[in-house]
């Protein structure tokens, strides 16, 4: 599973932060790693330089082997919480897809 992390100009990350987010996603989605070929993670600050609640958006696009790509998004106060929420939504969606595939 390849993970690509993208941020907009309002989100500042360093290598350590990026690596920890990639490690989190790798561990959190490890159960589905044989079904996922690539994850594209997009972090953006919806309010730009202004402060606000739930202004960090994480959008994860999952490329699945032999299937159409799927995308989920989540808004939160921090990059980590946004990624965690989006990952939880992706796990729920993958449970449904993988569960249906097992039944056939």
Q: Which residues pair with 59 in a beta bridge?
A: 42, 73
Tell me, what CATH number does 88's domain have?
A: 3.30.160.100
- Into how many domains does the chain fold? 1
Which domain does 13 fall in, by range? 2-103
SS3 content of the chain, % helix, strand, coil (to 5): 40, 30, 30
Task: Give me 85's structure tokens.
Answer: 């929420």
| Model confidence pLDDT, tens digit, residues 64-89 | 988 889 999 999 998 999 999 999 99
d(CA 71, CA 89): 10
pLDDT band for position 99 (cuts 50, 70, 90): confident
pTM over 0.95: no
């Amino acid at each position: 599973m390849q993970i690509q992390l993208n941020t907009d100009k309002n989100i500042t990350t360093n290598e350590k932060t990026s690596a920890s987010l990639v490690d989190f996603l790798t561990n959190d989605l490890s159960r589905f790693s044989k079904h996922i070929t690539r994850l594209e993670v997009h972090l953006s600050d919806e309010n730009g330089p202004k402060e606000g609640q739930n202004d960090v958006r994480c959008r994860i696009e999952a490329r699945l082997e032999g299937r159409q790509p799927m995308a989920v998004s989540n808004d939160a106060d921090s990059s980590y919480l946004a990624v965690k929420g989006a990952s939880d939504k992706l796990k729920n969606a993958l449970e449904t897809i993988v569960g249906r595939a097992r039944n056939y």
